[in-house]
Chain A
Amino acid sequence: MSDRYDRAITVFSPDGHLFQVEYAQEAVKKGSTAVGVRGQDIVVLGVEKKSVAKLQEERTVRKICLLDDHVCMAFAGLTADARILINRARVECQSHKLTVEDPVTVEYITRHMAQLKQRYTQSNGRRPFGLSTLVMGFDYDGTPRLYQTDPAGTYHSWKANAIGRSAKSVREFLEEHYSEEVSASEHETVKLAVKALLEVVQSGAKNIEMAVMKRGEPLKMFELEEIEKFVAEIEKEKEEEAEKKKQKKAGKET
């Protein structure tokens, strides 16, 4: 019965679902993980880099893209769909500057992308975009922002979020470890993002891509060495934690 309602996305199923949109969300869950953390003076995006085949050039398949000088985004899901969305967003950023003389706010460009995605869930003959995005940046007044969109066309503001594979467990990790003092320190904010990604990326620094944006500064992509430094710091902390637990246990037993 339900496969009659699967075909056309503009039609509801008997129990109130738009199945095509939900299937698009499944496609997102298959994409590689992306994590975003919003600090007080810094915003961080981290993505899991899928390892390339042996014969493939390691020309970094950029999953973190600049939309304008002060806004950038990462996505999880269909890369080809992302290209279209990113292109439209980039044009809209410049178009906005042309008509209004002001750079876009992060909320505006997120809303624009969300509206575009929603339009594709209500048009005949078109399928929804199979991706969720994390849009981050600084507004004109200096406020840092992090937004998430999904294939249905909804968008929300987040302090920290993850999308893609194992997003739920990464989000729970972020909920546990995010705090006001973490967001106050730039170093801690970046470390939280790396830690969260390491939960899903087993192989370490070489499969992680990170980018940060500080107020008034352009986007900075991290080199492998910088990411490795953070990973080393996190590993050391984990070892110290384990040592302390062992000693406490030994102390209790004696």
Chain B
Amino acid sequence: MLCVGEAGDTVQFAEYIQKNMQLYKIRNGYELSPKAAANFTRKNLADFLRSRTPYMVNMLLAGHDDQDGPSLFYMDYLASLQQVPYAAHGYGSFFTMSVIDRLYKPGLSKDEAQSILQKCLDEVQRRFIINLPMFQVRIIDKDGVHQLPNLRPKPAV
């Protein structure tokens, strides 16, 4: 789960969802599927939206299921949810989405996906006014979540 937005809200909301998912696992003996988890998260976000304490968070939820394979969900602070093949949040998304639009095709391999990611970061470094020198990368597959080495975008000429 990738959670960006208001400073404290991100951590609070993300940990709340995380612990509720663990509770589900203890209660029922099996984990929530990615789709179920995404919808649960969306419902919580929607309920909080019209309360006195809305959470200002944008999220990308990624998971792997034995039945549906890998899935990615885009969620924003107004609690809209959509399963997508690729997504981005923030000002950088204006630049990166067009890069992926051009390069994405279904059935990419792990290395192809990583090279697209690198190209996105290079684009952000070239076009975006703020210098973002280092990115944390995680990959989710059938064996779980793995941390990849940090990515540095190519310095803009």
Contact = CB atoms under 8 A, between A and B. Distances in A.
Interface of A: 66-69, 87, 90-91, 93-95, 97-98
B23 interface: yes
Contact of B19 (A67, A69, A97): A97
Contact of A90 (B15, B16, B26): B26
Chain A at the B interface: SS class: helix
Contacts of A87: 27
A67 B16 contact: no
Nearest to B18: A98
A87 B28 CA distance: 11
A93 B27 CA distance: 12
Interface residues of B, number: 8
Nearest to A69: B26
A71 B23 CA distance: 13
Interface in B9-45: 15-16, 19-20, 22-23, 26-27
Nearest to A71: B26
Contacts of A93: 26
B15 A66 contact: no
B26 A98 contact: no
B19 A90 contact: no
A94 B26 CA distance: 10
Query: Which of B16, B19, B22, B26 has the most A CB atoms < 10 Å from its CB?
Result: B26
Contacts of A94: 19-20, 22-23, 26
A93 B19 CA distance: 9
B26 A67 contact: yes
Nearest to A89: B26
B27 A98 contact: no
Nearest to B29: A66
Given A67-B26, A94-B22, A97-B19, 14 more contacts: A66-B26, A68-B26, A69-B26, A87-B27, A90-B26, A90-B27, A91-B23, A93-B26, A94-B19, A94-B20, A94-B23, A94-B26, A95-B19, A98-B19
Nearest to A93: B26
Contacts of B20: 94
8 contacts: A90-B26, A91-B23, A94-B19, A94-B20, A94-B22, A94-B23, A97-B22, A98-B15
Contacts of B27: 87, 90
Contacts of A91: 23
Nearest to B12: A98
A227 B29 CA distance: 22
A102 to B, nearest CB: 13
A67 B25 CA distance: 11
A94 B25 CA distance: 11
